[in-house]
Amino acid sequence: MVRSHKDGPLPRVVIVGAGFGGLNAARALRRAPARVVVIDRRNHHLFQPLLYQVATAALNPSDIASPIRRILRGQENVEVILAEATAVDVAARAVVLADGSVPYDYLIVATGATHSYFGHDDWARFAPGLKTIEDALDIRRRVLFAFEAAEREPDPDRRRAWLTFVIVGAGPTGVEMAGALREIARHALARDFRHIDPTQARVILLEGAPRVLPVYVESLSEQARRQLADLGVEVRTGQMVTAIDAEGVGIGPERIAARTVIWAAGVAASPLARSLGVPLDRAGRVQVEPDLTIPGHGEVAVIGDLAGLSQDGHPVPGVAPAAIQEARHAARNVVRMIQGQPRLPFRYRDKGSLATIGRAAAVADLGRVQLSGGIAWLAWLFIHILFLIGFRNRILVLIQWAWSYVTYDRGARLITGPLPKIEGAGPGTG
């Protein structure tokens, strides 16, 4: 299937998705003898690892998102299209859009993952996940509004339900959300209300596995659990959620009355994968060849969270560093194919894992070294600032973090969008 373009017009490389994978693939092709087309249904690249900071009112959307056009504007051989790719026509070598199609010579699919409710899609209404800016603003609205509703609720049981926050899933996102929620309650909101004490807010972190951060080494899970407990997060491991509705969460026969539930558990690959016509794993990921291409189509590579790949018996994790390594490898293979050379297999190099828990609290697994507490937090801060796309963002985010750190304040505490309905809440006064 590999064609040589040495004498014809420049081959066209289409990249679908401008997350860590897609964007790095485009950049890696900057000197390639090819026209590159990047398609995304958003106009911005999103720095997802910091999305929980938007959900918890510490950062603004534009601090962690940057227009794809701006990021790539200096790269002459790239064109950006704002459009939703609905399918890939592998036989015709074209990406199908909602309103047209884009042909390709080489394709890199990097559309990532969304959250999965393990077959309980009705839970989505009550327990939003955290993948997009809109998700983050939705969660921010729910969290801030819960305190407002509690302030006006005269019934103590109902008030307690407004002040109870359940997070389902204790991976990095769940751990970060839980820590940040307790910090908001303890510091940012502490003096703002007259009828409630925000510091009494309960944050319950539920995990089905026997420990938090289950993919990390056990000692770090234990460190994280202790740091969460210090913040006042109630960690409950080995707990399978069986019901979620507007009033709370069910765990078998037990019920937790909570008006705010956040989903940080399941991940499902983007539905675009199905149209490739190749085997998917249980989470919907494309089972790629060792060179990241799909069986029978060397011109189509799948990278990032959408790619299902195992190495030495372990799955390559769905994290940004893996997506970036895969992106660069896929780009290199495209250039090799254009030059008539064979593709090379991909090899993932694990550089370690990091999760932050709160103010000066974090855990880091750097392979030989495990860190926790303040040092891990500084490492986390440094690496995240470093990888934030766009110089302006880095400076501004650093200033906002410094400000929040010193003052315990959260600048982006805005409830925007339609106000949620309080069912049965009485007036605040009178």
Annotated catalytic sites, by residue?
176
Q: Assess 194 for contact with a second copy (CB under 8 A).
A: yes
Q: What is the C-alpha to C-alpha distance for residues 9 and 25, in angstroms, rounded to an integer?
A: 21
Q: Assess 394 for contact with a second copy (CB under 8 A).
A: no
Strand ranges of the sheet holding 297-302, from the earlier edge strand across to the other edge? 78-82, 35-40, 12-16, 106-109, 297-302, 293-294
Q: Which is nearer to a second copy, 339 or 407 (CB)?
A: 407
- DSSP-based three-state secondary structure for 294: strand
Find the helix or strand (DSSP H, E) in which 234 lies: strand 233-236
Phi/psi of residue 197, nearest 5 degrees:
-115, 100
Q: Assess 319 for contact with a second copy (CB under 8 A).
A: no
When binding is defined by CB under 8 A, the residue of 2, 33, 100, 200 that contacts a second copy is: 100
Q: Assess 70 for contact with a second copy (CB under 8 A).
A: yes
Among the listed ranges 1-9, 82-90, 117-125, 157-165, the one in contact with a second copy (CB under 8 A) is 82-90
Convert residues 361-380 into a mask of x (bound to a second copy by CB under 8 A) and - (unbound).
Answer: --------------------
Q: What is the C-alpha to C-alpha distance for residues 260 and 246, in angstroms, rounded to an integer?
A: 8
Q: How far is the CB of 46 from a second copy (least distance, A)?
A: 9
* Interface with a second copy: number of residues (CB under 8 A): 65
Among the listed ranges 2-10, 74-82, 118-126, 308-316, the one in contact with a second copy (CB under 8 A) is 74-82
Convert residues 44-63 into a mask of x (bound to a second copy by CB under 8 A) and - (unbound).
Answer: x---------------xxxx
Q: What is the C-alpha to C-alpha distance for residues 177 and 173, in angstroms, rounded to an integer?
A: 6
Q: Assess 102 for contact with a second copy (CB under 8 A).
A: yes
CA atoms within 13 A on the CB side of 59: 28
Residues in the chain: 430
Q: Assess 90 for contact with a second copy (CB under 8 A).
A: no
Residue 155 is classified by DSSP as S
Instruction: Give the residue among 402, 393, 358 at the shortest CA–CA distance from 53.
Output: 358
Q: Assess 131 for contact with a second copy (CB under 8 A).
A: no
Among the listed ranges 161-169, 190-198, 229-237, 333-341, the one in contact with a second copy (CB under 8 A) is 190-198
Q: Assess 429 for contact with a second copy (CB under 8 A).
A: yes
Among the listed ranges 132-140, 157-165, 243-251, 371-379, the one in contact with a second copy (CB under 8 A) is 132-140
Q: Which is nearer to a second copy, 378 or 415 (CB)?
A: 415
Among the listed ranges 37-45, 162-170, 244-252, 379-387, the one in contact with a second copy (CB under 8 A) is 37-45
Which amino acid appears at position 260 of this protein? T
Q: Which is nearer to a second copy, 164 or 400 (CB)?
A: 400
Residues 91, 108, 106, 314, Cα dihedral to 10°: -90
Instruction: Give the residue among 262, 269, 286 at the shortest CA–CA distance from 114.
Output: 269
Q: Assess 411 for contact with a second copy (CB under 8 A).
A: yes
When binding is defined by CB under 8 A, the residue of 152, 226, 274, 394 that contacts a second copy is: 152
Q: What is the C-alpha to C-alpha distance for residues 231 and 169, in angstroms, rounded to an integer?
A: 18
Q: In the beta sheet, which residues pair with residue 114?
A: 268
Supply the DSSP string of 305-322, one letter for each residue: GGEE-EETTEEPPSSHHH
Q: Which two three-digit tokens encode residue 163?
A: 């002040």
Q: Assess 43 for contact with a second copy (CB under 8 A).
A: yes
Find the helix or strand (DSSP H, E) in which 224 lies: helix 218-231
Interacting residue ranges for a second copy, rule: CB under 8 A: 37, 41-44, 60-63, 65, 67, 69-70, 73-74, 79-84, 94, 97, 99-103, 133-134, 137, 144-145, 148, 151-152, 189, 191-194, 392-393, 395-396, 399-400, 403, 407, 409, 411-417, 419, 422, 425-430
